[in-house]
Amino acid sequence: MAVVFVAAIFSLARMETPVNSRQDKPAEQPARSAQAKEFSGFSFYALLKDFEIEVPETTAKATSSANAVKSSYVIQAGSFKTATQAESRLAELILLGLEPTVGEVTNANGERWHRVLLGPYNSRSQMASARSVIISNNIEAMVMQRKQR
- Condensed to tens digits (0 to 9), the pLDDT of residues 23-50 reads 566 666 655 555 555 555 556 666 666 6
Judged on CB neighbours under 10 Å (0-12, 13-18, 19+), 21 is exposed
Burial 51-82 (b: 16+ CB within 10 A, else e): eeeeeeeeeeeeeeeeeeeeebbbbbbbbbee
Domain ranges across the chain: 71-147
Yes or no: say if 72 and 121 are a contact pair by the CB < 8 Å rule.
yes
Q: Contacts for 109-113 with beta carbons within 8 Å, 24 or more apart?
A: 111/81, 112/81, 113/79, 113/80, 113/81
- Condensed to tens digits (0 to 9), the pLDDT of residues 83-116 reads 999 999 999 999 999 999 999 999 999 999 999 9
Query: Could you give the 3-state DSSP secondary structure of residue 104?
Result: strand
71-147: which CATH number, 3.40.640.10, 1.10.10.10, 3.20.20.60, 3.30.70.1070? 3.30.70.1070
Q: How confident is the model at residue 10 (pLDDT cuts 50, 70, 90)?
A: confident
pTM of the model: 0.54
